[in-house]
Amino acid sequence: MQFNRRGVAFFSLTAKMVKLQTSRRANCMHSEVVSGANSTEEVTGKLRELIMNGTLVQGERLTETGLAARLAVSRTPIRLALATLEREDLVEGEPNRGFRVRRFSIEDMREIMEVRAVLEGMAARLLAEKGLEPEQDATLQDCLDGIAELIASKRHDPETFREFARINNRFHTSIATFAGNAALQRLMVRNPFRSAPLLHFLPNEEGHDALIDAQRDHIRVVDALRRGQGTRAEFLMREHGLLPLQRVEQLFTNISKNAADRHMDEAG
């Protein structure tokens, strides 16, 4: 097959446009989920978010058919997603009865947060020692700007907390990815628990205060990364990861109440 110069130029331009669009999708605020896709990874992410934000309450029974209908996908990605979430200890399998959302005790939450803080501290140290590249710096700054806008809005509604959770996830995931340690990333995937999606379980004003506390910590961590201060970055990130422990009892109480209310509504 032969192409004239116009044909070559057309295909070259098309390739560049596809590459540009792909790059934009990778850098957008919600790049974790690509709209319209029904991949196992996307379905896993959606179910993980529903569990973490309390939409799927602790102890709730999960069926492949019900979840497939809820997310408008086939049962195959649901089945694979549930297997992944079981490895992450977010759901528990029951012989011949499918799965249930795992019930967490206060001690469970403490232990998970402590492990997560160590892993994220290590990621911050590795990135600081490696050095931030300009594009990486821009990504983290974009996250800081997004959270600053949410704080400035002074809104305390659930959508604000959901948006914060999405930006917060991007911030922490980006640092782990930029650190460049594949083994560390795998461990963090196995421990996806973060406190951000739980903020809507706090009274509105306290949730907003928690948002401000998180932003303060994020700014300090980014400053340490920019200065190449590995030890400081690790300490700040670990301290940031343990911050929710100050509110863990209230979070646990409100989560349990939410589950009880849902159970009563369903029974009624």
Q: Is the pLDDT of residue 235 over 50?
A: yes
Q: Residues 208-214: contacts with CB within 8 Å, 24+ apart? A: 208/151, 208/154, 208/156, 210/244, 210/247, 211/147, 211/150, 211/151, 211/161, 211/164, 212/151, 213/243, 214/147, 214/164, 214/168, 214/240, 214/243
Give the per-residue pLDDT at 152. 94
Decide which of 250 and 153 is more confident. Answer: 153
Least confident among 18-22, 122-126, 194-198, 244-248: 18-22
Adjacent-strand bridge partners of 100: 61, 92
Stated pTM of the model: 0.70
Q: What's the rounded mean pLDDT across residues 72-95? A: 89
Predicted confidence (pLDDT) per residue in 192-232, tens digit: 665 555 555 665 667 778 889 999 999 999 999 999 999 99
% residues pLDDT > 70 (the chain)? 72
Confidence class of residue 265 from pLDDT cuts 50, 70 and 90?
Answer: low
Give the per-residue pLDDT at 5. 46
Predicted confidence (pLDDT) per residue in 145-178, tens digit: 999 999 999 887 778 887 888 898 899 999 999 9
Confidence class of residue 250 from pLDDT cuts 50, 70 and 90?
Answer: low
Distances (CA, A) of 182 to 110, 120, 146, 188, 190: 25, 13, 28, 10, 13
Q: Taking all residues of the chain, what is their mean pLDDT, rounded to a whole number?
A: 79
Q: Is the pLDDT of residue 125 over 90?
A: yes
Q: What's the rounded mean pLDDT across residues 75-100? A: 87
Give the per-residue pLDDT at 55. 80
Q: Is the pLDDT of residue 268 over 80?
A: no
Give the per-residue pLDDT at 193. 61
Predicted confidence (pLDDT) per residue in 20-71, tens digit: 444 433 333 333 333 334 688 889 888 987 887 678 888 889 999 999 999 9
Give the per-residue pLDDT at 131. 97
